[in-house]
Amino acid sequence: MNKYDIYLQENSNTLKNKLGITNEKDLDVAESMMVRTRMTLLYNSGFSDFSAKGFCELHKILFGDVYDWAGKYREINVRKSEPILVGKSVWYSNWDAIDKDLNNCWNKINKVDWHSLNHKEFAENIAHLFPTIWQVHPFREGNTRTTVMMIALFVEHYGYYFDYELMANSAGYVRNAFVLCCFDDNSEFEHLEKILFDAISEEPIEDYVDSENVIETKNSKYEKYYTKDYTPTPHEYIEK
């Protein structure tokens, strides 16, 4: 535990939480279950605030049952060891630049004429623009899930269907794809474009699960992005 990380419990690597859980693994399980429930409710109720403020509100909806700071920008700088970078971290926004950086990201997203894009162009633009939100990393925890959920809501807002289960079951692949998108002139978008093209559909996702042939196709698609033994690493505090 780093004594300067204000989000951790004393003498522990476990995040402070509303549930009174002191074990990191137990918290991960409880958090995952509660966030899943909130995601289901969101799909049913809808969401259309595609802005920095809306992104914070979405995080609060997803994680508000678990953390007091849900929906609030982190107040420390963080890094996260990435296996695909041999232990190095993506360079996230400084804590005091989060609001400016996040608003800049959304300004670029909202300048796109999304209705004019075909399926392929839509997926490509999502792949190029939404990882910039992820790289800001506004929150102490839950940035990837909030970004993916926002993508799902954004996609469906513009008339497409989104296979969230594909993204959730491919967590390792998705995270690595986000990482590869965040190297300025050396960024690589192909991995994220590929899975987004499969996840974004012009037909309802439910229609794909009725026959044996369709189930086989779905399983094949899921296996394509499966990352064996994927275990996310925790964020670490770094000096301001």
pLDDT at 170: 95
- Round to whole Å and give the CA distance between 59 and 47: 12
The letter for the amino acid at 104 is N
pLDDT at 215: 54
The reported pTM is 0.92
Geometric angle at alpha carbon 64, from 61 and 68, rounded to 5°: 145
Q: Is 108:34 a contact under the CB 8 Å cutoff?
A: no
Q: Is 165:173 a contact under the CB 8 Å cutoff?
A: no
CB atoms inside a 10 Å sphere around CB 26: 12
pLDDT at 162: 96
Specify the CATH architecture of the domain 72-238. Answer: Orthogonal Bundle (1.10)
The letter for the amino acid at 149 is M
192-231 confidence digits (pLDDT tens)? 999 999 999 999 986 544 555 555 566 777 888 988 777 8
pLDDT at 163: 95
Geometric angle at alpha carbon 137, from 126 and 174, rounded to 5°: 50
CB atoms inside a 10 Å sphere around CB 87: 9
Domain ranges of the chain: 72-238
Low-confidence ranges of the chain (pLDDT < 70): 1-3, 206-218, 240
pLDDT at 240: 61
CA distances, 153 to each of 95, 110, 150, 159, 172 (Å):
26, 14, 5, 10, 21
The sign of the torsion formed by the CA atoms of 188, 192, 195, 197 equals: negative
